[in-house]
Structure 1
Amino acid sequence: LARRADEAAALLAAHYRKTSELVEAHMQAAPASR
């Protein structure tokens, strides 16, 4: 069970990092489109 939790945590971390990158890119692109 602990190993599955570790895998889930790693997956969540990767997803969060990807999401934060998308948000950051969107924030940088938003002022240009305005």
Structure 2
Amino acid sequence: MIRIQNKNYQVTDWKWWNWGSWIVIIRYLTN
């Protein structure tokens, strides 16, 4: 993961990464 000095950006990146991983899992299960 990319570390950013600002904690707010770091949390946002983590949420986006987590959402991205869930989308991949959902697509894999639905196909």
Decide: shared fold, TM above 0.5: yes
Higher relative contact order (CA 8 A, sep 6+): 2
Corresponding residue pairs, total: 26
Look at both structures and tell me which one has the larger radius of gyration over its CA atoms. Answer: 1
- Provide the aligned C-alpha RMSD in A: 0.5
| Structure with greater helix share of residues | 1
Identity of aligned residues (%): 0
What is the TM-score when the length of structure 1 is the normalising length? 0.70
Specify every segment of 5 or more residues in structure 2 that has no aligned partner in the other structure, as ranges: 1-5
Specify every segment of 5 or more residues in structure 1 that has no aligned partner in the other structure, as ranges: 1-5
